Homo-oligomer: A and B are copies of this chain.
């Protein structure tokens, strides 16, 4: 603990996020023998998370144009990145029923199942840890992460 305290808070924040991510990856790799995440690059994971955020509210897949805008890359880079992720079985492309030339990009079925399993695992783990953290600090933690997200979104 004393060794940890010497590091700035944001570094320990990263470390705790990495510890949670590693826990899920390790556990699922043990249980399912499957680890679709560890060999993705940071950039690819960012793209997957954008598509996840977009589609989890029940909306259909993203158009390439929307994805490129959100990821702040050119449509042609976005297209190259999507191709690589489709080949890896991470993303899926489907033609739009409304417009046959348009294509919607979403997470593949296997990746969706993997992420659901990971969600469940982390919900359970957090339920355990939250009793140690306690109600007061849980509320405080929630406020802090929301402030960080909001502040970093507004300074873009």
State whether A23 touches B141 (Cβ < 8 A).
no
User: Residue A98 at the B interface, CB < 8 A?
Assistant: no
Determine chain A's interface SS by DSSP, over half rule: helix
For A133, the chain B residues whose CB sits under 8 A away are 144, 147
For A146, the chain B residues whose CB sits under 8 A away are 1, 4-5, 12
Complex: A133 Cα to B146 Cα, angstroms: 10
For A138, the chain B residues whose CB sits under 8 A away are 9, 144
User: Residue A99 at the B interface, CB < 8 A?
Assistant: no
State whether A41 touches B39 (Cβ < 8 A).
yes
State whether B123 touches A147 (Cβ < 8 A).
no
Which of B5, B15, B42, B140 sits near A37, CB closer than 8 Å? B42
| Cβ proximity bits A127-156 to B, threshold 8 Å, 1 near / 0 not | 011001100111011111111111111010
Instruction: State the oligomeric state as a number of copies.
Output: 2
Complex: A19 Cα to B39 Cα, angstroms: 21
Listed stretches A43-51, A89-97, A100-108; interface member: A43-51
Complex: A145 Cα to B142 Cα, angstroms: 12
For A119, the chain B residues whose CB sits under 8 A away are 8, 11
Complex: A153 Cα to B141 Cα, angstroms: 20
State whether B22 touches A17 (Cβ < 8 A).
no
| A8-B126, A20-B152, A129-B147 known, 16 other contacts, Cβ within 8 Å | A1-B146, A4-B146, A4-B149, A9-B126, A12-B146, A14-B20, A19-B148, A19-B149, A22-B46, A25-B42, A42-B42, A42-B45, A128-B151, A129-B148, A133-B144, A137-B143
